[in-house]
Amino acid sequence: MTFILASGSPRRRELMEMLGVKDLKIIPAKGEEHGPEGAGPRELVMALAAAKAEEVAAEAGEDDVIIAADTIVWYDGRPFGKPRSREHAAEMLRMLSGNTHHVYTGVAVLRGGVERLGFECTAVHFREIAEEEIQRYIESGEPMDKAGAYGAQGLGALFVRGIEGDFFNVMGLPLCRLDAMLKEQGVGLL
């Protein structure tokens, strides 16, 4: 049995390696990320995670375990994905400044044609961020490949006043939820 991570995210890979997963294969899904029209955050991230898992399933063996995830920041009734540009990153950070937003991660676990879907939601409270800080943060390059234009495990931690929920969810892979889903598939990480 091999674990297949259907993601190119270095953070997700690091988290799986932190758990000591030895038989880990990385096969990033390459398809377009489009969720159902008008979907709320839960439905959106689960649909995107399921699409990634199903895309990679063609490259998996019968006993392999495919893990896929999709993370968004949800604020003011809309999703914030990865920024399209430096200006877009600055716009997102200005909106999140001094406010609370929610990070949603959908998780799909696929094994032997049986799929489990779940999600996690974590509230993140940002302090007020000065315009100069936003510009210096963007100069670091860190926000450009992250949902909501920040990484709580890096320099973006300087903006986080508090977190309610699973910290690893904010990094892109809710480990407690993942373990429960893997156990439902007959695979435990402990």
Q: Where are the domains of the chain?
A: 3-184
| Residue 47 confidence (pLDDT) above 70 | yes
Among 23, 63, 64, 70, the active-site one is 70
Instruction: Mark whether 179 is an active-site residue.
Output: no
Q: Point out which residues pair with 74 in neighbouring strands.
A: 79, 102
CATH of segment(s) 3-184: 3.90.950.10
Q: What is the model's pTM?
A: 0.92
d(CA 107, CA 41): 13
Amino acid residing at 157 = A
Question: For the segment 111-132, what is each residue's pLDDT rounded down to a tens digit?
Answer: 988 999 999 999 999 999 999 9
Question: For the segment 67-91, what is each residue's pLDDT rounded down to a tens digit?
Answer: 999 999 999 999 998 999 999 999 9
Residue 113: φ, ψ to 5°: 80, -5
- What stretch of H or E contains 169? helix 167-171
Structural tokens at position 34: 């489009």
* 3-state SS, residue 121: strand
